[in-house]
Amino acid sequence: MTEGKPVVKRIGVLTGGGDCPGLNAVIRAVTKAAINLHGIEVFGIRDAFRGFVEGDGGLLRYGDVSGILTQGGTILGTSNKHNPFRYPAVRRGKKDFRDASGDVLANARRWRLDACVLIGGDGTMNIGTRLAKLGLPVVGVPKTIDNDLAGTDVTFGYDTAVACVTDAIDRIHSTAMSHHRVMVIETMGRYAGWIALKAGVAGGGDVILIPEIPYDLAKVVERVVARSRMGRRFSIVVAAEGARPKRGKMTVERVITDSHDPVRLGGVAAKLARDIEAASGLETRHIVLGHLQRGGTPTAYDRALATRFGHHAVELAAAGRFGRMVCLRGDRVASIPIARAVARLKLVPRSHPLIKTAIAVGTSFGV
């Protein structure tokens, strides 16, 4: 044993934030790699930080993770409403919050955890950074279909979401052609347009609208009208949920006060459909793909990437390299400090090759 290297006998693992294809693949890889390579026990924490605060968890045996590679979702459950530093509580009959980070540390001691693998997006990683400062030995694994974590080239779940949206665009093409309609498809992505951009290019979208490029409605209308006059009697508009007009704001569906990210975007497709139809006279419909993008069987790419991430997370924990997040650099799995990984969102640059390619084949970005 290397001098100064901590002895890791038991690793805790949780999945935080929204569900995502590939979560079970990470859980499986963490459990099997820990047992096979290091003889380390793995302790599953249920429903993200709710379980960590309330003491809800149990050991994961080898058989518990067999057969879950292809399953969507997470066998541990997840939550985006249980930030231990702002934990939901009731005081004098009213909804309130409290700092429950001490409960997390107490349960980590009670469960005899020598390390914790936190699988999640920016919210989970930010919480992990704060817990690490309090002494919890953590390793992060990046997860989000939005692909907006700056610390890694790609997050698992993104490829599956893009495949889902592309399939939807393919299906919507036929009904758009049959009824000679403009169809507006709303994708997830929060403040980043990665899903809409890649799926829009793959699905042959005529207009792609992303948060990073505020659109001019007149340009969108000009594009669909021009197609109609050329005999193209349908158009496909792919809009990220965070798409916004020039000098306008993103469309907010609702605000959830007890969530790490309280703003829930949504409704831009319905608004666009109304505006396009009113300005063009062309029959326009919209569809919101919503949580379809987060469910189902992960693609082969996401299964392999999630498995690699889980294995690397175990190696970091076994080596005592805490406070780091697994990441992908090119085709190489590496790691960086968690704090640096969540310092900013990874947004689509205007110089991105996919944008240039889309413009080259005639796609409009509403500008």
Helix (H, G, I), strand (E, B) or coil at 42: strand
Domain total in the chain: 2
Do 355 and 242 fall within a single domain? yes
Asked if the model's pLDDT at residue 209 lies above 90, the reply is: yes
Tokens of 290: 């919503």
User: Which is nearest to 49 in space by CA: 115, 103, 8?
Assistant: 103
Helix (H, G, I), strand (E, B) or coil at 149: strand
> Within this chain, do residues 97 and 29 fall inside the same structural domain, yes or no?
yes
Please report, for the domain that includes residue 91, its CATH number. Answer: 3.40.50.450
Place of tokens 């005639």: 362
Longest dimension (CA), the chain: 75
State the average pLDDT for the chain. Answer: 93
Is 171 in the same domain as 277?
yes
Residue 322: closest CA among 2, 33, 11 = 11
Q: Are residues 190 and 318 in the same domain?
A: no
Residue 183: which domain range?
158-294+349-360
Q: Which residue has the tokens 């390793």?
A: 139
Mean per-residue pLDDT, 21-44: 97
Please indicate, yes or no, whether residues 120 and 93 belong to a single structural domain of this protein.
yes
**Rounded mean pLDDT of 83-104?**
92
Q: Contact, 104 vs 114, CB < 8 A?
A: no
Residue 339 in domain: no
Which tokens in the block code for residue 21?
A: 């294809």
280 and 170 assigned to the same domain: yes
Query: Tell me: the pLDDT tens digits for 154-191?
Result: 999 999 999 999 999 999 998 888 888 999 999 999 89
Whether 22 and 138 map to the same domain: the answer is yes
Output the pLDDT for position 257: 66
Structure tokens at 171: 């299906």
Give mean pLDDT, residues 76-83: 91
- Within-domain flag for 342: no
Percent of the chain at pLDDT > 70 equals 96
Find all residues with CB under 8 Å of 222, minimum gap 6, and list them: none
CA distance 135 to 147: 29
- Tell whether 268 and 289 lie within a shared domain: yes
Q: What's the pLDDT score for residue 73? A: 92
**Which residue did the predictor score with more confidence, 75 or 249?**
75
- Residue 264 confidence (pLDDT) above 80: no
Burial 271-292 (b: 16+ CB within 10 A, else e): bbbebbbebbebebbbbbbeee
Q: What is the CATH number of the domain that holds 273?
A: 3.40.50.460
- CA-based nearest residue to 207, from 175, 171, 232: 232
Q: What is the pLDDT of residues 338-362, one digit of tens each?
A: 999 888 899 999 999 999 999 999 9
Contact 344/353 with Cβ under 8 angstroms? no
Q: What is the pLDDT of residue 1?
A: 38
- Classified as helix, coil or strand, 49 is helix
Split at pLDDT 50, 70, 90, the class of 275 is very high
Residues 320 and 249 in one domain: no
42, 98: one domain:
yes
Q: Name, in order, each residue with C-beta under 8 angstroms of 180's C-beta and a sequence gap of 6 or more.
A: 233, 234, 283
pLDDT in tens, 305-339: 999 999 999 999 999 999 999 999 999 999 999 99
pLDDT band, very low/low/confident/very high, at 3 (cuts 50, 70, 90): low
Phi, then psi, of 207 in degrees rounded to 5: -135, 135
Residue 357: CB partners within 8 Å, gap ≥ 6? 201
**Placement of tokens 């693609």 in the chain:** 299
pTM: 0.92
Q: Decide the pairing of beta strands 138-142 and 94-98.
A: unpaired
> Rounded to 5 degrees, what are φ and ψ at 325?
-115, 135
Alpha-carbon span 128 to 306, nearest angstrom: 19
Same domain, 353 and 205: yes
What pLDDT does 2 receive? 45
**For residue 58, pLDDT beyond 90:** yes
Residues 145 and 175 in one domain: no
Active site residues: 146
**CA–CA separation, 253 and 138 (whole Å):** 34
Burial class (CB in 10 A: 0-12, 13-18, 19+), 333: middle
Q: Per the domain annotation, does 144 fall within a domain?
A: yes
Q: Which of 6, 14, 37, 20 is nearest to 116 (CA)?
A: 14
In a domain? residue 337: no
Among the residue ranges 20-29, 188-197, 226-235, the one predicted with the least confidence is 226-235
Please check the confidence at residue 266 and state whether its pLDDT lies above 90: no
Handedness of CA 336, 340, 344, 349 (dihedral sign): negative
pLDDT tens digit string along 119-134?
999 899 999 999 999 9
Count of C-beta atoms within a 10 Å radius of residue 128: 28
Helix ranges (DSSP H) in the chain: 23-33, 49-54, 101-110, 122-133, 158-179, 194-202, 217-229, 268-280, 300-318, 338-341, 353-360
Residue 90 has pLDDT above 70, yes or no: yes
Structure tokens of 256? 């959830």
